[in-house]
Each structure stands twice: as C-alpha cells, then as structure tokens.
C-alpha cells in the first residue's frame, strides 16, 4: 500500500513539473513577440509632403508685390517656353493682365491645357501644380493669395458696393469667402457710401479718386497703372476727380483672420 501511494505521489509530481515547464516555455515566447512588434513600429518612417510655394520654387517667374494681413499679391510672368517646378498656392484669386496658352501639370501626373484670355478672372482653391507657357505670347497674371483659414463671412447687402453702385462695381467671381470685383469710374462719376471687406487692389487704368469716410473726412489718392494695395475693409464713398477713366480689379477677402 505504501509503495502504491509513493508511486502515485511521484506520478503527481512528474505531471506538475511537466505543466510548470510548459507554462514557463509559453511565457518566454510572449516577450519575444512583443519585442518584434515594437521594433516593427519603430522603423516606420514619418513622411511629410511639403511642396514649396511658387516664390521658393520659381523666384524668376513669381514676384511678391504686397504681403500683409494674411494676404499676398503675387505677379507671375511666363515668357514662351518658360516653365516652373511643382509648387503650391493657398486659396487665390487670379486676374490675367496678358493672356496666352499654358499647360498645367498636377501632382498626380495629370495634364491640362488652358487658354488664359487677357482680362479673365478666377478664384481657385489651394492646389499644387507645375506650369509651362506653351503659347507664343508672354503670360502675365496677378494672384491674390489668401493665407486665412477663418470662417467665411457674407457681405452685408445694405452696404455691398455691387448693390449700392452696380454701374461702378461689377461682381466677377464669388466663392471661398473671396469676391473679385471689376471697378470702372469715368471722370466725374461717384458712388454712395458703401463698404468692402479687407481688400487687395490692382490698378488697370490710372486715375485720381477722392474718398470720403463715414466721419466726413476726405482723402485724395492718385492711382498709377500696375499699382497694388492691400487695405483693411471699411465704409467710404468715392468720386473720380481726374480726367481719365479709373479701372481696377478689387479682391474682397471676407474671411476672419486666423
């Protein structure tokens, strides 16, 4: 009986030793698997896609004319055959001073032919592209780039220049919180009190304007051809006191500052 009991005890101990050995073997494998996973995660590269803006990518083709208030006016000039490397723009408005044929190349390899007519305007969302002048004429455009990400606001219809003086202010494009407006004041013409959002101005034809503020104060300004300005929004009335028709492109930025 004693021998039988002793054999049972030995058998039980043998089974326990075997189980402990198996469990110990399993535990040794777990850290190894965790270590392998950690190594795999650590070597994953973090890639940031940063495309330079037009000024950095092609400084010989793009020139900054004004830069303030989160608004930048850029002049782009492409002679026939000129091309730029891949570059980026934030949301922007465009005015073609002199047009021509251009090919735009997207980041994904897409290709688009575009005839840019003199005097055309447009508003484009932020984009990445390369450009080549594939025509026979020099292309010159004015870009109003907007580095503001605040919420777009609507223009008050009661003071909107295009509603107060539609014969003098014609709306060309309106989207993304930007509005492109064509200004045309013949000698002697004047507008009632109106307002604009923060604005960028490009003078097409020179002239002399008299501005009257809400407080009655007057200011005379001489506008030269090709002149650019970025000014805060506000109310005023305007009169052409010169002898020539004053023409300009106005881009209103109806977006809050960041």
Domain with residue 192: its CATH number is 2.60.120.10
Both 199 and 217 in one domain: the answer is yes
* 152 occurs within a structural domain: no
Max CA-CA distance within the chain? 132
**Per-residue pLDDT averaged across 70-97, rounded?**
97
Both 169 and 199 in one domain: the answer is yes
pLDDT digits (tens, 9 = 90+) for 219-241: 999 999 999 999 999 999 999 99
Examine the pLDDT at 250 and tell me if it is beyond 50: yes
Both 170 and 99 in one domain: the answer is no
pLDDT value for 49: 54
Is pTM, for the whole model, over 0.85?
no
* 156 occurs within a structural domain: no
Q: How far apart are CA 17 and CA 13, in angstroms?
A: 6
Q: How far apart are CA 172 and CA 182, in angstroms?
A: 7
- Whether the Cβ atoms of residue 108 and residue 94 lie closer than 8 Å to each other: no
pLDDT value for 149: 85
Both 16 and 98 in one domain: the answer is no
Question: Among residues 120, 146, 172, which one ends one of the domains?
Answer: 146
Examine the pLDDT at 186 and tell me if it is beyond 90: yes
* 151 occurs within a structural domain: no
Closest CA to 71 of 185, 227, 197: 197
Q: How far apart are CA 86 and CA 106, in angstroms?
A: 8
For 7, the domain range is 1-47
Both 123 and 142 in one domain: the answer is yes
Both 178 and 109 in one domain: the answer is no
Q: How far apart are CA 180 and CA 140, in angstroms?
A: 18
* 155 occurs within a structural domain: no
Domain count, the chain: 3
Q: How far apart are CA 220 and CA 177, in angstroms?
A: 30
Both 132 and 206 in one domain: the answer is no
pLDDT value for 27: 43
* 124 occurs within a structural domain: yes
**Per-residue pLDDT averaged across 172-200, rounded?**
97
Q: How far apart are CA 162 and CA 195, in angstroms?
A: 10
Examine the pLDDT at 23 and tell me if it is beyond 60: no
Q: Say how many residues make up the chain.
A: 258
Least confident span in 9-13, 69-73, 175-179, 195-199 = 9-13
Strand order across the beta sheet in which 121-124 lies? 62-68, 71-78, 139-146, 92-98, 121-124
Question: Among residues 87, 119, 146, which one ends one of the domains?
Answer: 146
Examine the pLDDT at 58 and tell me if it is beyond 70: yes
* 188 occurs within a structural domain: yes
Least confident span in 38-42, 76-80, 219-223 = 38-42
**Per-residue pLDDT averaged across 51-59, rounded?**
96
Q: How far apart are CA 12 and CA 8, in angstroms?
A: 6
């Amino acid at each position: 009986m004693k021998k039988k009991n002793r054999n049972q005890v030995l058998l039980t101990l043998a089974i326990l030793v075997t189980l402990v050995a198996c469990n110990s073997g399993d535990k040794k494998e777990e850290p190894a698997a965790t270590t392998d996973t950690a190594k795999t995660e650590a070597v994953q590269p973090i890639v940031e896609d940063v495309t330079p803006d037009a000024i950095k990518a092609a400084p010989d083709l793009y020139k900054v004319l004004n830069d303030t208030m989160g608004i930048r006016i850029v002049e782009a000039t492409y002679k026939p055959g000129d091309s730029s490397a891949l570059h980026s723009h934030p949301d922007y408005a465009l005015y073609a001073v002199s047009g021509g044929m251009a090919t735009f190349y997207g980041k994904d390899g897409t290709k688009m032919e575009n005839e840019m007519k003199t005097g055309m305007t447009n508003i484009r969302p932020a984009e990445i592209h390369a450009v080549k002048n594939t025509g026979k004429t020099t292309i010159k455009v004015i870009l109003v780039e907007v580095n503001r990400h605040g919420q777009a606001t609507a223009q008050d219809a009661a003071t909107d220049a295009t509603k107060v003086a539609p014969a003098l202010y014609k709306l060309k494009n309106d989207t993304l919180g930007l509005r492109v407006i064509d200004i045309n004041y013949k000698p002697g013409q004047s507008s009632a009190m109106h307002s604009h959002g923060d604005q960028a101005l490009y003078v097409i034809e020179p002239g002399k304007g008299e501005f009257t503020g809400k407080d009655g104060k007057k200011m005379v300004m001489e506008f030269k051809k090709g002149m650019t300005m970025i000014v805060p929004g506000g109310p005023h009335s305007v009169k052409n006191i010169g002898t020539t028709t004053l023409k300009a492109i106005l881009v209103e930025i109806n977006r809050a500052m960041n």
